[in-house]
Amino acid sequence: MPPSTESPCIGICSTVYGDNFCRGCKRHYLEVIHWNRYDTSQKQAINQRLEQQIETIMREFVVITDEQKLKVCLDQVTLRPPLYPNPFYWAYELLRLKAKQMTALGAYGFYAIPPYHTLSANTLFTQMDDKLYARIQQTLIVGWADKPNG
């Protein structure tokens, strides 16, 4: 399945406060500004990069034990279908949406690996998201981020 062209925006934009990368969707501010002018391949490239970055960070923190359970749990707490068909993204989204209420992660189809297994779900998500944001800030946005038509 080709990467999505749907906007990864989650309605929590920090670029309006001067961040170069949005703390919500993790796009560069130019990608946020020019999203509607990008063609399909540009949107897919951005989404593919974001999906890969989320999966890379999540693999450092968690193991997926039951993809079906994870997907069902995510579907119960969100109104929109997952942007990416990736269980590590599903775990990220579930934690983003529900970490403050979660206790036993195994009930959701994944668990935290050592040394993170003793953290609360909320602390786990905060550490993962901070690491993801730091990694994304190191990403070099090449070529067309500031040139939506080329």
| Residue 150 is assigned to a structural domain of this protein | no
| Residue 149 is assigned to a structural domain of this protein | no
Domain span at residue 73 reads: 15-137
| Residue 29 is assigned to a structural domain of this protein | yes
**CA–CA dist 90, 73 (Å, integer):** 9
3-class secondary structure, 140: coil
Q: Which residues share a beta bridge with 111?
A: 63
Distance of alpha carbon 48 from its chain centroid, rounded? 11
Interacting residues of 67 by C-beta distance below 8 A, sequence separation 6+: 87, 90, 109
Structure tokens at 77: 């707490």
pTM of the model: 0.88
- Is the preceding omega at residue 8 within 30 degrees of 0, hence cis? no
| Residue 147 is assigned to a structural domain of this protein | no
Looking at residue 146, what is its pLDDT? 47
Domain count within the chain: 1
What tens-digit pLDDT sequence spans the chain (150 residues)?
567 889 999 988 888 788 889 999 999 999 999 999 999 999 999 999 999 999 999 999 999 999 999 999 999 999 888 999 999 999 999 999 999 999 999 999 999 999 999 999 999 999 999 999 999 888 766 544 445 444
| Residue 44 is assigned to a structural domain of this protein | yes
Three-state SS for 49-61 is: HHHHHHHHHHHHH
| Amino acid identity at 55 | E
| Residue 69 is assigned to a structural domain of this protein | yes
